[in-house]
Chain A
Amino acid sequence: MLDVRHSGCNKTVLTPENAMSLLVAQQIHHSYGGTQALCDVSLEIEPGEWHALCGENGAGKSTLIKIISGVEPPDQGNVTLEGNPLPMGRVHAVEEAGVVAVHQEPVVFPHLNAIDNVFVGREPGRLGGLWLDRDSMAHGARQVIHQLGEDLPLEQPVGELSLAQRQMVSIARALLNDCRILILDEPTASLSARETQSLFRAIKQLQARGVGILYVSHRLEEIFQMADRVTVLRDGRMVGTHSIASIQRSDLIQMMVGRPLDASSAARPLPREEQAPTLLEVQGLSRAGVFDHIDFTIQSGEILGLSGLVGAGRTEIARAIFGLDSMDTGSITLDGQPMPEGFQIHDAMDRGMALVPEDRQRQGLILPESVEDNLTLPSLKAFSKLLGLDRDSRGKAARRLIQRMGIKTAKPSSSAQSLSGGNQQKIVLGKWVYRQPRLFLLDEPTRGVDVGAKEEVHRMIRTLARSGSAILLISSDMPEILQLSDRILVLCQGRIRGEVTGSQATAEQLLEWALPPERPDAA
């Protein structure tokens, strides 16, 4: 019966294994408006296979996942599960059939608690669904979260949990169903190393039960560690599917980017020789329950890495230095001058600070506005004249910035949301570059950015440091922090656990410092 069905769609080259494939997506075409997002993409996943999906941002990974999981119907093509066609464009029916997706952005409802979140849309009910079975919901949720090896407060609104915990809830939601195919779109982007490991353990268990995994990640080391096969997309087209054992890291990158990467970029920083003047001095910075007695200095031209688990207080420290949040005690001295009591963002900006926030879309950009508007937003005052904005010089400045940052955009007036993640990140960086700040606070500057753009951002950070700016780099991406930092501080539960010069740091050392000493995860 299976064979009969398959023989009908003989267009793609079927290897003998295909007949046994769990999920087959064939010749998917999809376009948004005028732009072709996917063109003739085919994919198959075998039972118990860990199948990685790679590609730069905008390559069509998320679109493919949306189509397979039923969020959107494709323009053309079909998806079959064990030979049975999946209902297209109907999330609920697709989930019933056993294909469940964890989307990049955690699908959680902040005002509901973890139990409701896990069950929403498929609540167990008595009396034909008229009476929710609260007890079995609580039981089921507890079980599935336990399966993930996590400990979550189940009754608390999920919005009050940390980003990682929310991601866990979202994954638990997917695991709840007795699924055949589990799709994970960058599930580890906001997870710490330890949480990543427990997630992987849970996935391994599923794999052992014969569940097929479709896995999207920018972290190539994860792919090489875990995956069986990898499919690479570029510009909405298939580049190819390969067994992970048969390819090298550099091959994979080249397939994704379409060109070989600059080898020198992977080089470790040289130890800094000359002693530059101290630019920022932070002393005794504390806020109850968030961070405690933080002391450090940064010199001009230095890149200081701030490492640690998500929720260790890294972002909060950066926000406090930038004047976004208040602090209980502590002093911040910039260039020998202490910041005034209760200073605001604009004070910090006027003294030459800049913050690239962790959430690009929500905090960094005004998405519907144009590239030009976004690039010039913090420096509008500089273009203000008596009779209003000087549009000529503003436009000129924007064009210069676009060129300098290498932002790929059709024209300065196209909206920021039409750009890829990497280019968006370049805007967020670029809007500060114009002000020529002396201190950059970079919070996850390459999160969700594809390999090529990541390199460019790294190069830019180095250039900025070379030109004399101090940089505080917060990142969960271990290779990134090791590559870039002159010196690394490791935070754990709001305290500085250790400090090491960049050239001597090792990933193992950083991780050890980052993990809480005794009880895990004191949330």
Chain B
Amino acid sequence: MKARLPSWLMNPESLLIGLGMAFWLIMGKLDHSFLQWEVQQELSTHIWETALMALPMTLIILTGGIDLSIGSIMSLSAVTAGLLHQAGWPMPMGCLAAMVVGMACGWFNGWFITRFKVHPLMITLASMAAFRGIAEGVSQARPLSGFPESFTRMGNDVWLGLPIAGWIFAGSLAMAAWIMHAHRLGRCIHAIGYNEQAARFSGLRVDRMLLGLYTLSGLSAAMAAILFMARRNTAKADIGAGVELGVITAVVMGGVSIFGGRGTLAGVCLGLFLIHETREFVSWHWSRDELNLLALGVLLILSVVFQQLLGHKRAS
């Protein structure tokens, strides 16, 4: 209570920045080759899809919901695009169809959630199995590859120092930031997360907004699927398995309250960054995948505990 830290030091974002700095220092001491720009640039390709899906996930968690089905939506969209490509559709049309399918899946989630008032966790737990199952069924679990080079180039090209996927993420981030900070939707999302009932009583169209957010989440999963296909030149029913855990981990690590309301996009970006750097560095330096699992788990718990302790100090 005596020497109180300034308020800008007492929030999750600052804590994450601090952690990030500590990491960079450790990395620099242990293995400076890791910090080279080319290395970072190339390794960044591993995070863009997760990052892209983390944006709508942030908004959804801010409203107090969750979407576990994004990995499965990814696979269904990818399989759609792959099958249509095989059927002779031009790639852009295939991608468009994939996005439509992704949005349809998200809309389906949102519709059930708003229509039946079932907890999003339950609905998306079920649709997670259903969507992947459908993807497996329609593709008969076959890999679909051989996409045109003009398409795969999208996954590998670098423009102004950033991979194409990075630019897509940056664009989406700018849009999400605009929504959250400058548009009235941002206020509404926070309001719904803090107190859905009061938001309804204030005349906010909560159901419509939730429907929109889950659809957006589906769309982002479809876009992630397209980026994946371009990068790895293949579409299959098993892509995106387990990706939802990575996305949710990044979001909660970024200081977004799992109960809704509290959280910022800046925090989520830092969370994504921290997770990405940790994961890449551990396998870069120690080359032991099991340590990676250990490090990520411990990092998540520690960062949340720290956030909690800081938050506690602030409250009392």
A–B contact at 8 Å CB threshold (below): yes
Interface residues of A (CB under 8 A from B): 33, 324, 344-346, 348-349, 355, 357, 362-369, 373, 376-378, 380-381, 383-384, 387-389, 431
Q: 9 closest pairs, A vs B, by CB?
A: A388-B182, A380-B184, A349-B203, A377-B202, A388-B183, A378-B202, A366-B194, A363-B201, A345-B203
A324 touches B183 (CB 8 A): no
Closest chain B residue to A356, Cβ basis: B201
A389 close to B187 (CB less than 8 A):
yes
How many contacts A-B (CB < 8 Å)? 69
- Residues A33 and B203 in contact in the complex (CB < 8 Å), given A368-B194, A389-B182: no
Nearest A residue to B316 via CB reads: A33
Q: Which of B105-132 contact A (CB under 8 A)?
A: none
Chain A residue numbers with a CB within 8 Å of B205 are: 344, 346
CA distance A348 to B203 in the complex (A): 9
Q: By the criterion CB–CB under 8 Å, are B184 and A324 in contact?
A: no
- The size class of the interface chain B forms with chain A is 20 to 34
Is B200's beta carbon under 8 Å from chain A? yes
Residue of A33, A389, A431 with most chain B CB atoms under a 10 A cut-off: A389
**In the complex, what's the smallest C-beta–C-beta distance from B311 to chain A, in angstroms?**
13
Given contacts A363-B201, A368-B261, contact A389 B183 (CB under 8 A): yes
B window 183-200: CB within 8 A of A:
183-184, 187-188, 190-191, 194-195, 197-200
23 A-B pairs with C-beta separation under 8 A: A33-B316, A324-B200, A344-B205, A363-B201, A366-B190, A366-B194, A366-B198, A367-B195, A377-B187, A377-B188, A377-B199, A377-B202, A377-B204, A378-B203, A380-B184, A380-B188, A381-B184, A388-B178, A388-B181, A388-B182, A388-B183, A389-B182, A389-B183
Q: Are B194 and A346 in contact (CB under 8 A)?
A: no
Say whether B231 faces chain A, with CB atoms less than 8 Å apart. no
- The interface of chain B, by Cβ under 8 A from chain A, is 178, 181-184, 187-188, 190-191, 194-195, 197-205, 261-262, 315-316
Chain B: which residue is nearest A348 at the CB level?
A: B203
- Specify the chain B residue showing the minimal Cβ separation from A376: B187
Complex CA–CA separation, A413 to B31 (angstroms): 46
Instruction: Identify the closest chain B residue to A435 (Cβ).
Output: B203
- What are the residues of chain B within 8 A of A33 when measuring CB–CB? 315-316
In the complex, A131→B187 CA distance in Å?
51
Q: Which residue of A lies closest to B195 (CB)?
A: A366
Chain B residues with Cβ under 8 A from A349's Cβ?
Answer: 203
The answer to whether B197 and A362 touch across the interface, beta carbons within 8 angstroms, is yes
**Contact A367 B201, beta carbon cutoff 8 Å:** no
| Cross-chain contact of A387 among B182, B187, B191, B316 (Cβ < 8 A) | B182
Q: Are B194 and A369 interface neighbours, CB within 8 A?
A: yes
Q: A33-B315, A378-B203, A388-B178 are in contact. Are A383 and B197 (CB under 8 A)?
A: no
Known: A362-B195, A366-B191. A384 touches B183 (CB 8 A): yes
> Which residue of chain B has its CB nearest to the CB of A354?
B203
For A363, what are the chain B residues with a Cβ–Cβ distance below 8 Å? 197-198, 201
Cα(A62)–Cα(B18), bound, Å: 40
Known: A324-B200, A345-B203. A384 touches B184 (CB 8 A): yes
A377 touches B315 (CB 8 A): no
Q: Are A431 and B201 in contact (CB under 8 A)?
A: no
B200–A345 contact, CB under 8 A? yes
B263 CB to nearest chain A CB (Å)? 12
Q: How distant is A181 from chain B, measured CB to nearest CB, in Å?
A: 29
Evaluate contact between B201 and A364: CB separation under 8 angstroms.
yes
Contact of A365 among B198, B200, B315 (CB under 8 A): B198
Q: B188: nearest residue on chain A (CB-CB)?
A: A380
User: Across the interface, which residues of A come within 8 angstroms of B178, CB to CB?
Assistant: 388
Most chain A beta carbons < 10 A, residue from B190, B195, B197, B205 = B195
> Are A373 and B191 within 8 A (Cβ)?
yes
Min Cβ gap A344→B in Å is 8
**Which chain B residues lie closer than 8 Å to A381 at the CB level?**
184
Known contacts A367-B194, A384-B184; is A324 also within 8 Å of B261 by CB?
Answer: no
Smallest CB–CB gap between B139 and chain A, Å? 41
Bound complex: CA A383 to CA B201 (Å): 19
Nearest residue (CB) in A for B314 is A33
Q: Is there contact, CB below 8 Å, between A366 and B184?
A: no
Taken together as a complex, chains A and B put the C-alpha atoms of A426 and B244 apart, in Å, by: 43
- Determine whether the beta carbon of B201 is less than 8 Å from that of A324: yes
User: Once the chains bind, are B195 and A373 in contact (CB under 8 Å)?
Assistant: no
Instruction: Answer whether A369 and B201 are a contact pair too, CB < 8 Å, given A384-B184, A389-B184.
Output: no
